[in-house]
Amino acid sequence: MDKSDWQGGQGQTWAAEWRRTDRSFTAVTEKLLQRLRGLAFAQVLDIGCGAGELALAVARARAPARVIGVDISPHLVATARDRGANLANAAFELADAAQWEAPQGFAPQLLISRHGVMFFEDPVAAFGHLAALADSGAHLLFSCFRSPAENPFFTDVARLLPQPLPPAPPEAPGPFAFADRARVASILQGSGWEAVAIDPFDFPMIVGAGDDPVSDAVDYFASIGPAAKAAQAMTDEERAAFFERVGQLARANLADGLVAMPAAGWIVSARKA
């Protein structure tokens, strides 16, 4: 998965499914917002803002703050603008954060991201650029996935595919590009950030809810993620059998009206050096 995926079909799908994707990351959003309590900031940059959930939550909670969300997907930016139409202190721009130029007078004291930083082609250059944009002493706070092996949300579904997914190179842009804790620390320390802290965070990815959580979970996996892309290449018979197996997996993870799958991430914080 690379930038072109998000600029095209992947971004379009996530924009259409923003309610489900925000729901799946509920615990991560809450954790990031919790970590912001007590921090003073007047200008905020949301990196890879997606459909705007985190940026909008910050803008609602801190009415005096100016919040700008940046994303490379025109579909996601359009959705974020729609959702934030009534918030005067939130704005969304279509751009690659690695090259984005801040408007005059904007030097964020806080840079945030919910799983939006793992897709940089040159992460050292990208975080160096972001450090250059930031105010003196600015805070950086983001979440990202740990390894695939620690994320049954991905691996349990992938095991049900008739053909295994090809492994991605460990440092290639994509969901698991920041799985290696030492690599993340090295990237940040080499690009103008200090006081780097990388804390593990385990959370439930909510993939099914409502009147029929199991069917909702099947629809989720049919729309979002690598399994959905792989399913498009299957025969009708293979696809039906695959999603039957996904339904069985969903039932095994159903509790209290929700289908939730274990996921594992990092919560990363730093300050501008």
Task: Tell me the pLDDT tens digit for each residue of 97-125.
Answer: 999 999 999 999 999 999 999 999 999 99
User: What is the pLDDT, as a whole number, of residue 122?
Assistant: 96
Q: What pTM value is reported for the model?
A: 0.94
The letter for the amino acid at 2 is D
Number of domains present in the structure of the chain: 1
C-alpha 132: how far from chain center: 23
Of 112, 4, 37, 127, residue with least CA distance to 68: 112
DSSP H or E stretch at residue 195:
strand 193-208
Distances (CA, A) of 104 to 101, 128, 136, 175: 9, 19, 16, 33
Q: Are strands 139-145 and 193-208 parallel, antiparallel or unpaired?
A: unpaired
Instruction: Kindly report the number of other CB atoms within 10 A of residue 218's CB atom.
Output: 23
The pLDDT mean for the chain works out to 94
Distances (CA, A) of 221 to 73, 121, 229, 237: 21, 27, 10, 17
In a domain, 238, yes or no: no
User: What is the pLDDT, as a whole number, of residue 3?
Assistant: 64
Mean of pLDDT values over 75-83: 97
In a domain, 79, yes or no: yes
Distances (CA, A) of 72 to 13, 25, 94, 116: 14, 20, 6, 10
213 compared with 11, residue with greater pLDDT: 213
Longest dimension (CA), the chain: 58
User: What is the pLDDT, as a whole number, of residue 169?
Assistant: 79
| Contact in structure between 53 and 22 (CB atoms under 8 Å) | yes
In a domain, 246, yes or no: no
12 compared with 219, residue with greater pLDDT: 219
User: What is the pLDDT, as a whole number, of residue 7?
Assistant: 67
In this structure, the chain runs to a length of: 273
Task: With a cut of 90, say whether residue 9 has pLDDT above it.
Answer: no
User: What is the pLDDT, as a whole number, of residue 11?
Assistant: 76
Mean of pLDDT values over 223-228: 85
- Beta-carbon contacts of residue 178 (< 8 Å; ≥ 6 apart): 117, 118, 144, 145, 184, 266, 268
- Beta-carbon contacts of residue 104 (< 8 Å; ≥ 6 apart): none
In a domain, 201, yes or no: yes
In a domain, 229, yes or no: no
Residue numbers of the domain that contains 37: 3-149+167-207+262-272
Task: Tell me the pLDDT tens digit for each residue of 234-248.
Answer: 999 999 999 999 999
In a domain, 247, yes or no: no
CATH, residue 114: 3.40.50.150
In a domain, 234, yes or no: no
User: What is the pLDDT, as a whole number, of residue 73?
Assistant: 95
Mean of pLDDT values over 61-77: 96
- Beta-carbon contacts of residue 233 (< 8 Å; ≥ 6 apart): none
Return the percentage of the chain with pLDDT > 90, whole number.
86
Task: Tell me the pLDDT tens digit for each residue of 116-168.
Answer: 999 999 999 999 999 999 999 999 999 999 999 999 999 999 999 988 887 77
In a domain, 227, yes or no: no
User: What is the pLDDT, as a whole number, of residue 4?
Assistant: 64
